[in-house]
Amino acid sequence: MGYTFTLRTIYPYLGTLWQAAGLTLALSLLAIVISIVLGAGIAILRRSHSRLLRFIGAAYVEVMRNTPLLVILYIVYFAGPSIGIRLSSFNAALIGLSLNSAGYMAEILRAGLIAVAPGQFEAAHAQGLTALQTFRYVVFPQVFRTIYAPLGNQVIAVILASSLASAIAVDEVASWMETVGSTSFRFFETFVVAAIVYLVLCQAVNLGRLGIGRMLFRQGAVAR
């Protein structure tokens, strides 16, 4: 026994916590942006006329959703040098996280595209809208509404998943907890602090999403 919870013991390490939190945030935000772009490409593949392209899209999603992120990170990080590409651990983590998240994003975006009935494209065309106008005024508003809630969930999932980057030596928040915990033997305090950082990040996304959702979509609450 004899363990007293004293946050003061980890004051000296709080300076590095900000850097760690910044890294977690940068990694998550970049991975989210990249995986939306990649995911959109895969969602479009899955609606292609070619059976082969549809299969590739579907296979990508299934592989990413059924393989642990940790294994994907190890493959990206360790396979690089084997084929002559040397990746920094941050870049390897970013690539692994983005590739994995793209599998989920593709499904979210595909559900959004399905929500737009094919007749609407024809109707927009008949109205004389250009492809760009069709996207801007017909497709986007409907897709956005459908993907809004799951997109928020995915953003939170990416923030949480970015903690695995610590396994390939990225000094983000989970890694901060492990390093500071093992040097100071204050694992309880470091856990509480790290948990608070993730809680704040995730709940900021969660509450922000609910608030913005209420402003954007008048009728009906945004489902979680």
Interaction site with other proteins (CB under 8 A): 1-3, 62-63, 65-72, 74-75, 78-79, 82, 100-101, 104, 107, 150, 153-154, 156-158, 160-161, 163-164, 166-167, 173-174, 177-178, 181-182, 185, 187-188, 190-191, 194-195, 198-199, 202-203, 206, 224
Q: Using only C-alpha atoms, what is the Rg of the chain?
A: 21
Phi and psi at 48, nearest 5°, equal -70, 160
**Distance of closest approach, residue 83 Cβ to other proteins, in angstroms:** 9
Alpha helices (H) along 115-186:
118-126, 131-133, 140-161, 173-184
Contact 172, 162 (CB under 8 A): yes
Q: At what angle do helices 14-45 and 140-161 cross, to 10 degrees?
A: 140
Q: Which residues contact 215 (CB under 8 A, 6 or more apart)?
A: none
Between 133 and 183, name the residue whose CB sits nearer to other proteins.
183
- Nearest approach, Cβ of 209 to other proteins (angstroms)? 12
Rounded to an integer, what distance in angstroms lies between the CA atom of residue 93 and that of residue 49? 34
55/47 Cα distance (integer angstroms): 10
Closest to other proteins by CB, 78 vs 144, is 78
What is the nearest approach in angstroms of other proteins to the Cβ of residue 44?
Answer: 20
Give the residue among 1, 4, 2, 18 at the shortest CA–CA distance from 193.
18
**CB closer to other proteins out of 123 and 221:** 221
The nearer residue to other proteins, 124 or 158, going by C-beta atoms, is: 158
Least distance to other proteins from the beta carbon of 133, Å? 32
Measured from the CB of residue 34, what is the shortest distance to other proteins in angstroms? Answer: 15
Smaller CB separation from other proteins, 134 or 189: 189
